[in-house]
Amino acid sequence: MIDIKFLRENPEAVRENIRKKFQDEKLPLVDEVIELDKKSREAQAEADNIRANKNKISKEIGAMMAQGKKEEAQALKEQVAKDAARLVELDGIQKEASEKLRADMMIIPQIIDPKVPIGKDDSENVEIEKYGEPLVPDFEIPYHTDIMDRFDGIDIDAAGRVAGNGFYYLKGDIARLHSAVLTYARDFMIDRGFTYYVPPFMIRSAVVNGVMSFAEMDAMMYKIEGEDLYLIGTSEHSMIGKFIDQILQEDELPQTLTSYSPCFRKEKGAHGIEERGVYRIHQFEKQEMIVVCKPEDSPKYYDILWKNTVDLFRSMDIPVRTLACCSGDLADLKVISCDVEAWSPRQKKYFEVGSCSNLGDAQARRLRIRVNGGDGNKYLAHTLNNTVVASPRMLIALLENNLRADGSVAIPKVLQPYMGGKTELVPLHD
């Protein structure tokens, strides 16, 4: 959510930002917000003036009564009654205008960074850099669930009977590899100075509305029937929510956090869940990184965050690339974002394994996360997040890039301590 003062003083800049995001249907909101803001402020000013005069009139009534001027005093009493009724009216006007203004402001997108490429959708995202050499072996690489089947490591049929499409059972060495990746990712981030958290896996609507746009919420979140609780789609939600209504001390910043959680997503509009695959699913596990910092530090931490993911994947010899997300692919709260994609030798292309975002003060404004500056003035913090690793997408990249011609899978050296010293997985059957 952008600053109302900024919109009031720079309406054309807000309109141009909306155009850059190809959301022209939101352009009328700018004029509507300006009118609502004016209406709310005028009502507030009139109400303040009435309240300021209240004590003065009360003293005048007392003086007139003391002087025996009952008729004049009665006239003032009638004015007080009119003023009281007008205050009720003004409070209603202001409340209605303020509520509608806030609802509109929640829909108007955040001002994007000048470095964001302009484009309509993810097909116009721009490659930034590649890391590692993407190779295609001279033997056929099976579909990822077929690789897992060779190790008796997955059961999608049973999961379908239990929960339907978009779920899976992992077992044996594949399940262990899944856990090894997450545990390694946790330790990787701790070694980089991030504080480890296991957060709540459910959050209230006040937090949901603070961390994401309405469109994202509708597409992602599962609501707990009969309660003000939602299952989290990522631990970023509960980690940023941790700071709701808090005033942080400037010397406490930055807050650099890494969190583990299961994640639950509707995947609404995902063009069908792959019944056999585990790429787009309703439930998965993820290690996340989150930063809360001073506004001037957020560009620096944005670069630190995405580089952490690149370094993690490269430590397992998985080729990756970074893509700058274009304006039309940015969620409304994001200032700038990039995707990290891993190489798929089977598909001969890259696929998304993580996303890094700087949200500026958007979440902090919605959640009222403020910082007590050294000069005593309070300001809004900036928030950032990035995927360390999401499994089982990481499993797909790991299995495909480490598969050998004989069907065995080499275990990257950094994962071997988490696999009981195993250096490879040997298939149980073809």
Which residue, 261, 262, 267, is CA-closest to 279? 267
- pLDDT confidence of residue 268: 58
- pLDDT confidence of residue 375: 85
- pLDDT confidence of residue 274: 47
Spatial distance between the Cα atoms of 117 and 303, rounded to a whole number of angstroms: 17
CB atoms within 10 A of CB 236: 28
Share above pLDDT 90 across residues of the chain, in percent, rounded to a whole number: 79
Q: What is the mean pLDDT of residues 190-203?
A: 97
CB 109 within 8 A of CB 18: yes
pLDDT (tens digit, 9 = 90+) per residue, 225-277? 999 999 999 999 999 999 999 999 999 999 999 999 999 998 755 544 444 57
List of domains in the chain: 4-105 (1.10.287.40), 122-425 (3.30.930.10)
| Residue 72, φ and ψ in degrees, nearest 5 | -65, -40
- pLDDT confidence of residue 81: 77
Joined together, the tokens standing for residue 236 give: 């970023």
Residue 4 scores a pLDDT above 60: yes
pLDDT (tens digit, 9 = 90+) per residue, 106-143? 999 999 999 999 999 999 999 999 999 999 999 999 99
Element (H, E) at 45: helix 28-66
Q: Which of 44-58, 147-161, 288-302, 375-389 has the least mean pLDDT?
A: 44-58
DSSP states of 19-38: HHTT-GGGTHHHHHHHHHHH
Question: At 21, which amino acid appears?
Answer: K
Element (H, E) at 220: helix 214-220
- pLDDT confidence of residue 271: 46
- pLDDT confidence of residue 185: 98
Residue 53's pLDDT band (boundaries 50, 70, 90)?
A: confident
Joined together, the tokens standing for residue 352 give: 């998304």
- pLDDT confidence of residue 65: 65
- pLDDT confidence of residue 391: 86
CB atoms within 10 A of CB 129: 9
- pLDDT confidence of residue 15: 97
Residue 101 scores a pLDDT above 50: yes
Average pLDDT, the chain: 92
Write the CA distances from 254 to 53, 242, 246, 293, integer angstroms. Answer: 47, 15, 15, 4
- pLDDT confidence of residue 344: 95
- pLDDT confidence of residue 58: 67
pLDDT (tens digit, 9 = 90+) per residue, 60-75? 666 666 666 667 767 7
Joined together, the tokens standing for residue 55 give: 């004590």
pLDDT (tens digit, 9 = 90+) per residue, 5-30? 999 999 999 999 999 999 999 999 99
Q: What is the mean pLDDT of residues 286-309?
A: 97
Helices (H) and strands (E) in the chain, counts: 13, 18
- pLDDT confidence of residue 220: 84
